[in-house]
């Protein structure tokens, strides 16, 4: 197979892998639509930290793998067409795509072939050639492989804009149901701790951008029958203890010819609720105990968790928008971190007396109205809002 055909095969196969920049892969209800390079490569628009959008090539260096994770399309022994790149070959191919403008960044992962250390070395060598031989200064997201060594993690951090370790499940017991040969604490959690240790103890390499990369992880939601509470407990711990930038949730989807092929698909709405809840924990000052879990520890699918909280806690005790502190403003549906700051700033000038003043600040006023007072009064149209 020629190089472009292999890259097409690998980047298409990577669409099975949950995304760590933005959701869709090429075939999973893309929104916005992916770009198709003239050679039919799958390159999709991805949101960078800071909001810039780039064309991201998401691919594996090899789809060969010696492990047998139950949910994974790349598991050893599964019959499908595999492909492999050597570092030099991939780096020069990608460099050509970058020069032509067909791709502006790369998310590079790999199957495990020859152990975690060797597989990580292949990824590192590729990134090193891109950065130091071919002068690529664009976005690189590198996967940290299970079993990688600390020095390799540090090297990945020197080369990449983002590194990720996929935890897949929230704890050891759940991981055993998905990937019996992955070791949760030693192979997955420990590298995340190393990233945080290195970030805290060592100044970043000044050779290219002088910043340590952000760290993300990914969970297969529902793959091990875990609850949302388990997933979010681990997520909250990661935010607090290893400076995790973000957790990604991918609703379990059965892959043919794997041990979980007959397991029911998980409703994608569950992903959405998990994202909403994780943002409440990370950015809105919510505690786990405040989230509206069911008795089984799951978020109700029909309810936005922030709205559900507000209906219980604020509907009868609305907050005065002109006096509430930032923490309380963030509790009001329709008000996010930026709009809370805008309210704090605006009310230094004058009192906020009507919904149009809130709309001008970018607030979803209709959503917020039932839960606030404007200079002591409820918003006029709120009478028609269901209790
Ligand atoms: S190690 Fe990774 S690529 Fe290999 S089977 Fe497990 S999840 Fe899939």
State the chain's mean pLDDT as an integer.
91
State if residue 167 touches ligand 1 by the CB under 6 angstroms criterion.
Answer: no
Q: Which of 4-8, 25-29, 31-35, 48-52 has the highest mean pLDDT?
A: 4-8
Looking at residue 15, its pLDDT comes to 67
> What percent of the chain lies above the pLDDT cut of 90?
83
How far does residue 88's CA lie from ligand 1's centre (Å)? 23
Q: Residue 45: which pLDDT band, with cuts at 50, 70 and 90?
A: confident
Q: Is pLDDT at 368 greater than 90 in this prediction?
A: yes
Q: Is pLDDT at 308 greater than 90 in this prediction?
A: yes
Give the residue range(s) of CATH 3.20.20.70 domains in the chain: 3-266
The 10 Å CB-count burial string (b at 16+, else e) for 238-250 is bbeebebbbbbbb
Q: Is pLDDT at 290 greater than 80 in this prediction?
A: yes
State if residue 65 touches ligand 1 by the CB under 6 angstroms criterion.
Answer: yes
Looking at residue 16, its pLDDT comes to 58
Classify domain 3-266 by CATH architecture.
Alpha-Beta Barrel (3.20)
- Looking at the CA of residue 179, tell me the nearest atom of ligand 1: 6
Choice from 10, 13, 73, 74 to test ligand 1 binding pocket (greatest atom count within 8 A of CB): 74
Question: Across residues 250-258, what is the average pLDDT?
Answer: 95
Q: Is pLDDT at 55 greater than 90 in this prediction?
A: yes
How far does residue 80's CA lie from ligand 1's centre (Å)? 14
Q: Is pLDDT at 36 greater than 70 in this prediction?
A: no
Ligand 1, atom 2: nearest CA belongs to which residue?
111
Looking at residue 52, its pLDDT comes to 87
Q: Is pLDDT at 25 greater than 60 in this prediction?
A: no
- Give the per-residue SS3 of the chain: CCHHHHHHHHHHHHHHCCCCCCCCCCCCCCCCCCEECCCCCEEEEEECCCCCEEEEEEEECECCCCCCCCCCCCCCCCCCCCCECCHHHHHHHHHHHHHHCCCCEEEEECCCCCCHHHHHHHHHHHHHHHHHHCCCCCEEEEECCCCCCHHHHHHHHHHCCEEECCCECCCHHHHHHHCCCCCHHHHHHHHHHHHHHHHHHCCCCCCCCCCCCEEEEEEEECCCCCCHHHHHHHHHHHHHHCCCCEEEEEECCCCCCCCCCCCCCCCHHHHHHHHHHHHHHHHCCCCHHHCCCCCCCCCCCCCCHHHHHHHHHCCCCCEECCCCCHHHHCCCCCCCHHHHHHHHHHHHHCCCCCHHHHHHCCCCHHHHHHHEEECCEECHHHHHCCC
Ligand 1, atom 6: nearest CA belongs to which residue?
69
Q: Is pLDDT at 38 greater than 70 in this prediction?
A: no
Q: Residue 157: which pLDDT band, with cuts at 50, 70 and 90?
A: very high
- Give the per-residue SS3 of 316-358: CCCEECCCCCHHHHCCCCCCCHHHHHHHHHHHHHCCCCCHHHH
- Looking at the CA of residue 65, tell me the nearest atom of ligand 1: 4
CB 27 within 8 A of CB 52: no
- Looking at the CA of residue 66, tell me the nearest atom of ligand 1: 4
- d(Cα 323, Cα 339) in Å, to the nearest integer? 15
Query: What DSSP assignment string belongs to 245-258?
Result: -EEEEEE----TTS
How far does residue 379's CA lie from ligand 1's centre (Å)? 54
Query: Rounded to two decimals, what is the model's pTM?
Result: 0.90
How far does residue 146's CA lie from ligand 1's centre (Å)? 9
- d(Cα 64, Cα 73) in Å, to the nearest integer? 10
How far does residue 74's CA lie from ligand 1's centre (Å)? 6
Question: What tens digit of pLDDT does each residue of 84-127 get?
Answer: 999 999 999 999 999 999 999 999 999 999 999 999 999 999 99
Choice from 61, 118, 179, 187 to test ligand 1 binding pocket (greatest atom count within 8 A of CB): 179
- Looking at the CA of residue 68, tell me the nearest atom of ligand 1: 5
State if residue 74 touches ligand 1 by the CB under 6 angstroms criterion.
Answer: yes
Out of 22-26, 176-180, 222-226, 286-290, which region has the weakest mean confidence (pLDDT)? 22-26
CB 191 within 8 A of CB 153: yes
How far does residue 79's CA lie from ligand 1's centre (Å)? 14
Choice from 65, 119, 177, 257 to test ligand 1 binding pocket (greatest atom count within 8 A of CB): 65
Looking at residue 337, its pLDDT comes to 96
Question: What tens digit of pLDDT does each residue of 260-280 get?
Answer: 999 999 999 999 999 999 999
């Amino acid at each position: 197979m020629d190089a472009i055909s292999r890259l097409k095969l690998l980047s298409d196969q990577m669409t099975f892998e949950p995304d760590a920049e933005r959701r869709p892969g090429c075939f999973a209800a893309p929104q916005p639509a992916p770009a198709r390079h003239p050679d039919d490569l799958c390159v999709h628009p991805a949101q960078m930290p800071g909001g810039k959008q780039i064309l991201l090539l998401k691919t594996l260096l090899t789809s060969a793998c010696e492990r047998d994770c139950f949910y994974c399309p790349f598991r050893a022994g599964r019959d499908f067409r595999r492909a492999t790149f050597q570092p030099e070959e991939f780096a020069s191919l990608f460099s050509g795509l970058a020069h032509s403008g067909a791709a502006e960044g790369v998310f590079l992962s790999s199957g495990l072939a020859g152990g975690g250390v060797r597989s990580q070395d292949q990824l590192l060598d590729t990134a090193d050639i891109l950065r130091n031989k071919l002068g690529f200064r664009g976005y690189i997201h590198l996967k940290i492989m299970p079993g990688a060594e600390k020095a390799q993690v540090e090297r990945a951090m020197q080369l990449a804009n983002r590194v990720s370790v996929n935890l897949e499940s929230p704890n050891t017991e759940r991981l055993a149901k998905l990937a019996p040969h992955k070791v949760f604490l030693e192979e997955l959690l420990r590298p995340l701790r190393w990233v945080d240790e290195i970030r805290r103890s060592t100044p970043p390499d000044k050779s290219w951008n002088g910043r340590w990369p952000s760290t993300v992880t990914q969970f297969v939601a529902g793959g091990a029958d875990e609850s949302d509470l388990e997933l979010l407990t681990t997520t909250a711990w990661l935010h607090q203890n290893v400076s995790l930038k973000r957790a990604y949730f991918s609703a379990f989807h059965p892959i043919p010819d794997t041990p979980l092929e007959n397991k029911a698909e998980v409703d994608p709405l569950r992903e959405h609720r998990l994202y909403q809840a994780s943002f409440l924990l990370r950015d809105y000052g919510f505690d786990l105990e405040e989230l509206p879990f069911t008795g089984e520890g799951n978020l109700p699918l029909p309810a936005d968790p922030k709205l559900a909280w507000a209906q219980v806690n604020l509907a009868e005790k609305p907050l005065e928008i002109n006096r509430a502190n930032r923490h309380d403003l963030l509790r009001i549906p329709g008000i996010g971190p930026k709009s809370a700051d805008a309210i704090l700033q605006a009310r230094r000038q004058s009192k906020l007396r009507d919904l149009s003043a809130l709309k001008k600040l970018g607030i979803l006023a209709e959503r917020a109205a039932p839960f606030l007072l404007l200079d002591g009064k409820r918003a006029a149209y709120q009478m028609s809002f269901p209790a």
